[in-house]
Structure 1
Amino acid sequence: KGWYHSSNVLTCFYIARVCCDIRLDQSPSQVKIPGHSVKVSCIISGYSMTSHDIHWIRQKPGKGLEWIGRINTGSGTDVIYADSLKGQFTLTEDISTSTQFLEAKSLSSEDSAVYYCARQAH
């Protein structure tokens, strides 16, 4: 069985959590089998979601961080993906709920990782 894992992460090196109450809360961990799809959410609070781009990053077991892509928040269409991962992931957003989404279809065991959303600093 393949598996998929998502973890909560706070941005701004945790300093923002103390000083500004900025939060990026991700959906709970999920386990999926190869061939299935998954959609992870990242709920943003403590600032206006449309003021900072959101990046998605993953870390496979025993490996370094791998950048998946970024979405220019508020546009919904200005999305850039890592060349090596184009077509594997879709980044979307729901401005009304301040939520960003990462969707992966046709999962394989190679997609087993911890997935993070992160706010771009300006």
Structure 2
Amino acid sequence: MLPRASVSISCKASGFTFTDCHMYWVRQAPRKGLQWVATVSQPTGKNQWYAPAVQGRFTTSRDNPMSTVSLKMTKLTSEDMAMEYCTRDTVRGSHCEPRHKPP
């Protein structure tokens, strides 16, 4: 990858009501643990929060009709080399209710 390159990725969600959930980006660098990168709020994506390491360089957004979340990464460095994952809340709570509630 060229120094200071830019990359955009997206993630299509399914199996839950997309607009009910904050969506998150996390990453895992080689031989490292998971690191939170960014959050985009529900339902509209009006608010975004970023890890200090990516603030001002990464931008997340959501497309509700397509149930898609995107991450634009700019000014990339070797420190950014990682596998990126999108996720939602993983426990029941006010931001994200499961479609099929357990008995």
User: Is TM (by shorter chain) over 0.5?
Assistant: yes
Instruction: Structure 2: give runs of 5+ residues left out of the alignment.
Output: 94-103
Counterpart for residue 95 of structure 1: 64
Q: Secondary structure at the match of 1:84?
A: coil
Q: What is the root-mean-square deviation in Å for CA atoms of aligned residues?
A: 1.3
Listed as ranges, the matches of 1:45-60 within 5 Å are 45-60=14-29
Q: TM-score, normalised by structure 2?
A: 0.80
**One-letter amino acid of the structure 2 residue matched with residue 44 of structure 1:** A
Paired residues in the alignment total: 91
**One-letter amino acid of the structure 2 residue matched with residue 106 of structure 1:** K
Separation (CA, whole Å) in 2 of partners of 1:84 and 1:109: 12
Query: 2:23 touches 2:40 (CA, 8 Å); kept in 1?
Result: yes
Separation (CA, whole Å) in 1 of partners of 2:63 and 2:3: 27
Listed as ranges, the matches of 1:17-96 within 5 Å are 33-96=2-65
1:120 aligns with 2:84: no
Separation (CA, whole Å) in 2 of partners of 1:63 and 1:89: 20
Q: Secondary structure at the match of 2:65?
A: helix
Counterpart for residue 74 of structure 2: 105
Separation (CA, whole Å) in 2 of partners of 1:66 and 1:95: 25
